[in-house]
Amino acid sequence: MPYITVGKENSGNIELYYEDHGTGKPVVLIHGYPLSGASWEKQVAVLLEAGHRVITYDRRGFGRSSQPSTGYNYDTFAEDLHEVVKKLVLRDFALVGFSMGGGEVARYLGKYGSKDVSKAVFISSVPPYLLKTPDNPEGVDGSVFEGIQKAVAADRYAFFTEFFKNFYNTDALMGTRVSEQAVQASWNIAVGSSAAASLACVPTWYEDFRQDLARVDVPTLVIHGDADRILPIGASGDRTAKLVKGARLVVVKDGPHCITWTHADIVNRELVSFLGEVTGTRTLTAQG
């Protein structure tokens, strides 16, 4: 299995598991919490069919990557992504982030700039800034995140069970757009993650990405469900689309957080269309 070394913890290397398939213009897919690169399965086949080289990797602490006790912040996550880009010698590549993965897209562009980056896509993503502060009244009260941290620390297995109900809006979509088995598969991946990572990632959700988004100067697509209970569109997708100059917003009607699975038909259509555009200058708002 292919791995990229991104650091060390005591005597052991910190390694990221990745997969690299196909040819053509590269697309890097960055997964959400608490999953792995395998969560992109409904996108990978479609992007390969469209003629792209598709790279997925597991964030540190998750999937088949190393599970260090440190490095769970977006500066480090962006550095890890940068190591992937350098190792694979990527040029003219697109960055696509789902949920937490949108934070990597924003921080990478904020930290390293857009050299060699062709396009950016934020799907159900955490930017721009989730925490309610005097200069960010649209954010979420800090007590909500404290409650999540307490729940993860007390019993992360039980937390994941409840989390995935809102991840997929199972009360509305079970049996139509998601199966019990798909939800169980997500739970299985989640419980294989590092206990340290499961807890330490929660405060990263409300890192401030506003300055990062101000530096985004590549064609950008924002896709978000209007029924997202994990990251409500008004606090995230809508605002990201407004903060990135020229960004296009696609709203998925009745879409939950994990639209990459439940509404893969819409997400894939918009993704393939956007990545295939030569200029990327269209700035229309679409309804999916």
- d(Cα 200, Cα 222) in Å, to the nearest integer? 26
Which of 1, 27, 147, 156 lies closest to 88, judged by CA?
27
Q: Under 8 Å CB-to-CB from 226, ≥6 apart: which residues?
A: 233, 251, 252, 253, 254, 255
Res. 288: pLDDT tops 80: no
Read off the pLDDT of residues 204-231 as tens digits, 9 standing for 90 and up. Answer: 999 999 999 999 999 999 999 999 999 9
Question: Which two structure tokens, joined as six digits, stand for 67?
Answer: 């599970």
Note the pLDDT of residue 278: 73
Res. 286: pLDDT tops 90: no
Strand-pairing partners, residue 9, are 12
**Share of residues in the chain with pLDDT > 90 (%):** 94
Q: How far apart are the first and last CA of the chain?
A: 37
Tell me if residue 99 is catalytic. yes
Domain interval for residue 255? 3-287
Count the Cβ atoms, other than its own, within 10 Å of residue 88.
18
Identify the active-site residue in 65, 99, 124, 186.
Answer: 99
Identify the active-site residue in 228, 236, 238, 263.
Answer: 228
- d(Cα 115, Cα 86) in Å, to the nearest integer? 12
Note the pLDDT of residue 191: 98
Residue 166 Cα to chain centre, angstroms: 17
Note the pLDDT of residue 282: 35
The CA distances from residue 244 to 106, 118, 210, 211, 237, in Å, are 10, 15, 9, 10, 11
CATH number at residue 154: 3.40.50.1820
Q: Under 8 Å CB-to-CB from 245, ≥6 apart: which residues?
A: 216, 217
Tell me if residue 257 is catalytic. yes
Identify the active-site residue in 52, 224, 257, 263.
Answer: 257
What's the total number of domains in the chain? 1
Q: Which amino acid is at 175?
A: G
